[in-house]
Amino acid sequence: MTILVTGGAGFIGANFVLDWLAQGGERVVNLDKLTYAGNLETLASLQGDARHVFVQGDIGDTALVARLLAEHQPRAVLNFAAESHVDRSIHSPEDFIQTNIVGTFRLLERVRTHWGSLPEQDKAAFRLLHVSTDEVYGSLGAGDAAFAETHRYEPNSPYSASKAASNHLVRAYHHTYGLPVLTTNCSNNYGPYHFPEKLIPLMIVNALAGKLLPVYGDGMQVRDWLYVKDHCSAIRRVLEAGRPGEVYNVGGWNEKPNLEIVHTVCALLDELRPHADGQPYASQLSHVKDRPGHDRRYAIDAGKIERELGWRPAETFASGIRKTVQWYLANPEWVAHVQSGAYRDWVQKQYTAQDALQ
């Protein structure tokens, strides 16, 4: 038996592949384009493992996807492939349209053709699991109920709009063609192997390098935080027992403002890797101009996946963030290698000195 994972060299996809094989799962064919956030070094421990077949390529390459489906006959396709950074979508929205919408459409077409050719028994067992985001729902007020699966879509960035469109396509392929799909919408992930443009790894990396810790606006934007290994276990459970055509929201039950996250990271670094001069890492904090259209609050109601599938996160935020900081401290080589010239240029563009609030 085999599964096909797309985007399996990115942050969540790679963690899923590592976790899947560590749990004794069947062989993985891993298709990843290896854009800036795709990193084969994350999968170095699988080198020589016959259960992991890596293929560099694009989900929009219909001939390649068709060949992989025909050659490997996967029982499931898990689609992690996506452009996923809001800031980048503001500067370069077309990349998000091409990967998240056009790429998902082309993947669906090839999977639909493959699925339609299967024997009835294999056809009934087949699944396509599409990994998405809580950002498709838009923004919440301070007293609003958390996002449930029935919440209407109100995306506010090119990134979230492209993911909402991909979700609609996945849903339509189930209702029109009968394709057995599953969709998960997750909250903010954090943990090992996270590319350092996102909040938590950026704070860790900048703090250790003695750089400013840029916080958008007042830093009181609220997010629900989900440890990536918990997300992986949720996806395994949805793949195993989710009902075709259903959507499952996956969250960590950890609503926290960004500023609190930054102070928590600083406090852990003060404990685990204190400055030689005794200065607290929080002294490096710098408020910068808020980004356009910055959503104020996200919150996930993960009650459905608990009621129907018996899943809850294993980590608290306190345990997960400590493991995350410890991982970055223990893996400076991975961090150094992933920080390419292109990444440094991006940080310089995004957090320019003149944006700093006085």
Catalytic residues: 134-135, 159
**Are residues 192 and 228 in contact, defined by beta-carbon separation less than 8 angstroms?**
yes
> Is residue 160 packed enough to be buried (19+ CB in 10 Å), middle (13-18) or exposed (0-12)?
buried
Closest among 76, 60, 66 to 27, alpha carbons compared: 76
Neighbours of 92 (CB within 10 A): 12
Closest among 6, 1, 124 to 65, alpha carbons compared: 6
Q: Which two tokens stand for residue 269?
A: 């670094």
Residue 200 identity: I
Rounded (10°) angle between helices 62-72 and 104-116: 40
**Are residues 24 and 328 in contact, defined by beta-carbon separation less than 8 angstroms?**
no
Closest among 246, 124, 244 to 185, alpha carbons compared: 246
> Is residue 326 packed enough to be buried (19+ CB in 10 Å), middle (13-18) or exposed (0-12)?
middle
Closest among 232, 195, 235 to 84, alpha carbons compared: 195
Neighbours of 342 (CB within 10 A): 9
